[in-house]
Amino acid sequence: MPYFTPTQLASLQATATTAAGYLDVCDSSSRYVRLDPAHYRTCGELLARIFYVVDARQAFPTLLRHSPAAREMAESMEISRHIAVSRLVYYPELTALIYRITE
């Protein structure tokens, strides 16, 4: 994982908070926000990319406490990492086969 300066982390946190906020509002079926499917998807992808390079539980604990979307994304990223490690360690033949098929 790359190392970020406090300023970079603050910027990532602000971006993650904004993206998670939009996802939360849309997920709660608020009447006051118009759902834009493209923007919703972009916010989800952005949140996933941020959580891919930053350990959300360590860097953004407050965001995870307050945002269901951020919590779900952090859990999804953690599960994804476990699957990737398990696949490489416990099923090397399957991993080799998957790489051959996808090339």
Residue ranges covered by each domain of the chain: 6-102
pLDDT in tens, 45-86: 999 999 999 999 999 999 999 999 999 999 998 888 887 777
Give the Cα separation of 14 and 3 in Å (integer).
17
Q: pLDDT-derived band of residue 2, with 50, 70 and 90 as boundaries? A: low
Give the Cα separation of 36 and 33 in Å (integer).
9
pLDDT in tens, 31-43: 787 888 999 999 9
The phi and psi torsions of 3 (rounded to 5 degrees) equal -100, 135
**pTM (2 decimals)?**
0.76
pLDDT at 35: 84
Which residue in this structure is represented by tokens 């908070």? 17
Q: For residue 45, give the 3-state DSSP assignment.
A: helix
pLDDT at 33: 79
